[in-house]
Structure 1
Amino acid sequence: MKSESEMTILVIDDEQNIREGSQRILSRMGYRVLTAANGQQGLALVQAQPVSIVLLDLKMPGMDGMEVLTHIRLFDPEILVIVITGYATIETAIEAMKKGAYDFIPKPFEPDQLRIVINRARERLRLIDETRRLERERERNLADLGTEKSRIRTIVETLPNGVLVTNVEGRIALMNPAFRWLMEIEGEVPAGAPVESCIAEAGLLQLIREVSKGKERNGAVDAKYEFAVGEQKFLQAIAKPVWSESGECVGAVVNLTDITTMKLLDRLKNEFVAKVSHELRSPLSTIHEQLALVLRDMAEKESSRDQYLLSRAKEKTQGLISLIGDLLDLSHIEAGNVCKDRKPIHLAELLKNIVDFLGTKAKAKRQRLDLELPPEPLPLIEADPMAIESIFGNLITNAIHYTPEEGAINVRVTLEPGDEATTAAVTTAGVKSNPWIRVDVIDNGFGIEERHLENIFKRFYRVKNEKTRFITGTGLGLPIVKGLLDELGGRITVQSVPDHGSTFTVWLPLCQE
């Protein structure tokens, strides 16, 4: 779009005062202005140099305005012609506009009237230029898209994983050969066919329909579904919605992976862990009980050294028993055998029971353990009560262990809006989630150095220093917490300052209405 100083306006009128007055007004607005006293002079100027807007008097001697308008339209139809009429009727102006005039202005006119008409014409020219620019860009993008589309299709067709793309209605936009092979679909599947025409697995169909419409599953970024094809093939589908720039869901992409080998390895590993754990737990429990009996008998003999050694042996035995229990819990989580018994539960009542139960352990260290609930009743959450007890039992027990005597542990419960919870826990572009319940387990204990924070949810990882090396633990409590929260669609984060304490924050999704 030309600037005002680059835009030329031609005034064609047989009245000198109209030409000079228009030139003064338009020049002050920053335009380059040419004038002509009759139609022949005006047409010569139009043909000699670029003109954007023409102010044209309809009543002139010799060649009248209508004839000049016709010649201008034949020479350059993009020039905007504004007719000036003093004696003609509105019908004459309308006739001129039918022949291609852009607008009209009656004589005599005020400066403001002229400014308004010229600014309107300038805006029209700006819109025309913008339309052309967008059209050129669209054509260029279409050419680029044609090349890029060919490349992308070639890449997708050769991927080893199955790829399915659907629109918002759940109809197939693209399906690569690997997807057809994994799902044992024979022949080509035409674009636009409903997914039901070639997929029979009910759970997978439901996943595709929900994600294609932009629905979330427990606040998860990616929705997953595992299923079997036949007796020996296990597949995992990961679906993700596709969002437009305006935040509207336009469909979904489903990635299909063969996890048969992983399943067989997991089965062998779980069987091994279960067998070894069973064989070790019974003798260790027996040893633990016998050590407890010996320690009771030795209490009367006052042998402090022997008592210390046996107490440490008893602690280590209890640690091994806890390790076996944690290993079994982890194997159950990995096998997907947890969080099956989901039902609406009152989190406040469950937390009260956990805090009351662990209060004895806190009192033994002269610690203060408090539960802080919001004044309004909490809505229900849908979860496995045993999983919730394990999550907060682990977190509060850790807080007690890693807080010195006479310390304080506070369990604070709040109701958070969906956007804040998703920002802190997991971000999903273009999606607004339901509200979450937030639970903070806060202590003023030893704290964790920043370099350890990214590793504390890894198996067997323990932070050991002069203050914590005598604390017995398996290094599996936090991995169990995270695994259970992943199954429930929840999230956990941690903030900690050495020697000032730690805050573990858990988000739990509410029941879907």
Structure 2
Amino acid sequence: MSQQILLVDDEEGIRKVLDISLTDSGYQVLIAKNSEEALRIFKENRPPLVLTDIKMPGMDGIELLKKIKEESPDTEVIMITGHGDMETAIESLKFDATDFITKPIHDEALEIALKRAKEKISLKNQLKEYTENLELLVEKKTKKLVEAERLTAIGQTVAGLAHAIKNITGGLTGGEFVLEQGIELNNQKYMHQGWNMIKGNVNKLKNMALDLLNYTKEREPDYQLCDPNRPVQEVFELMLPYARKYGVTLEMDLDKHLSDAWFDPEGIHRSLLNLVTNAIDACTDINSNHGSDKVILQSRKTKGWAVEYQVEDNGCGMDEKIKGKVFQSFFSTKGTRGTGLGLMITKKIIDEHDGYIKLESEVGKGTKLIIRLPKKDQSLRSK
């Protein structure tokens, strides 16, 4: 298909000569006798090439060039000028004219100017095609990277889950063996020990399943207007027997001046339960050198926040490397006793509350975890 070119000149003789020359060169020629007519034809046809005189009545060629470039920056415009008007022709190059030729117009000069213009059009098309292909390639590569990251995350999750389940099944197998020995020997002590091992590991499995459901499920907190001290009291009463069992002193320190606040009581209960369980376990760690193991669970009034919770222990503590990993899925410092989900779930719950969680720890001195919940209003009731 022949390429369109818009020819603009107020002199009829020049229009006819150039029309013949351009048609013979294989162009489909659109003709205008002034700039106003040229703009109308250009908007209707959008030719890639324009050949225009500079000196014309009314709107001159420079103004026409500017308007065409505003409409279509990629259109190539060649200017025609007389010998005495070289400064104007050079000025046109500042406004992104492709080239200029002088009157009288020689076929060779016109051919060279048109060749340059066509080369520029070809280069722009190649660049556009390359850019589009590059964008498509980037999009495909990005999708592959996202998919690879997704598969890696799934692989890590499955590996961590398999390890956690392996630990639990090991505990179940051990409990089964002790229970069988107790039955075989008619030893009540062995029976109780074996059965307690089985129950403990079944509870671990149940809690791990609940943690996984909580982690994978996108949910809005079930906001209720609550006493901020209530989850502290509930967790304290629930964990007190567990702490005594391992010789850990569990203390509670409540701020009686706290006002009722909007939060999800079940989620905050779960979070504090995870933190207190970890704190007690840290005190019973073999690397803990304290003679008197202690965990303090407290609520505090903090400026700018609805409530601050702190869980502090004087257990084994953590180094910087471990501190950087504690909120990662399936990372546990407890060996076979942990699943590596507790702190991850806690952080997710606090994030869902738009809250704040901070870990402070030092090896051999203990760990403190701080949770802050923002002030919310009654509009959350409908969520």
The TM-score normalised by the length of structure 1 is 0.36
Higher share in helix: 2
The TM-score normalised by the length of structure 2 is 0.47
